[in-house]
Chain A
Amino acid sequence: MSASTTDKDNNVSTNKNISLPISRVRLIMKSSPDVSSINQDALFLTTKATELFVQYLAVSSFNNGSGKGSKSLSYSDLASTAEEKDTFHFLTDILPKKILAGDYLKTLEQIQDEEADN
């Protein structure tokens, strides 16, 4: 990726207390059409908040998930957290629960049966 140069620029910036590249966060924020400008403090806070969010999502999913015994964190742990925890509900679109095609067909059949009954 050609991003390495911009990432480096950010590591030079004064703060050691954030690790995500501020320039990338700014790019994501600016991709929102209504946003015209963002001051430095707001940019810093959003970057820091994103780090806290990543930690919180990972820890919540691990603690709620099935992989606690086997010391693993899987996609399905994340998907259930998105579904079950209100604060993570906005993630359900990008963290859809995976179901087996067979199960999906069964539910489809059930729905059709129910509709036929009615």
Chain B
Amino acid sequence: MAERPEDLNLPNAVITRIIKEALPDGVNVSKEARRAISQAASVFVLYATSCANNFAMKAKRKTLNAADVLAAMEEMEFERFLEPLREALEVYKKGKKEVSEQKRKEKEKKETDNDKNREEEDDEERMEEEPEAENDAELEEVEN
């Protein structure tokens, strides 16, 4: 929980960097303007959360999910964010998968190296990988 009001602020250094990167080179952003944008960003989060939460409640769900956030963006008339958000989510999910796969491979390696009694488990894990490989192949076919 937020114990102090400043816990609800976003870090100024990061906000400043995002602003600088978005604007043409050499634009001077006043301190007051930076603070205002940072506060606006916090309000945006709250507004988006409340909209997304309405969609979750309508669907009788307790957990906010990606679809709720996307629906909230539409409701707030930030449709222009939908495409970049979907793309970013795709990349994010891929990244997560790669990390977990890497971990699994490392784990498998250790297990085969150290403990031959665990061979059965490894087989199970390999079987889990196969359907994914098939899906990838299908995707490639569709693309071609």
Contacts and interface: CB of A to CB of B under 8 A. Distances in A.
A95 B92 contact: no
Q: How large is the interface on B (under 10, 10 to 19, 20 to 34, 35 or more residues)?
A: 35 or more
14 contacts: A17-B91, A24-B11, A30-B2, A31-B1, A37-B62, A37-B64, A54-B19, A54-B37, A57-B40, A72-B29, A74-B33, A75-B32, A78-B40, A91-B40
A99 interface: no
B5 to A, nearest CB: 10
Shortest 10 CB-CB contacts between residues of A and residues of B: A55-B22, A41-B66, A45-B69, A75-B32, A42-B64, A72-B28, A38-B64, A29-B49, A37-B63, A28-B45
A100 interface: no
Interface residues of A, number: 59
Interface of B: 1-2, 6-8, 10-11, 14-15, 17-19, 21-24, 26-30, 32-33, 36-37, 39-50, 52-53, 57, 62-66, 68-70, 73, 76-78, 80-81, 84-85, 88-89, 91-93, 95-96, 99
Contacts of A51: 18
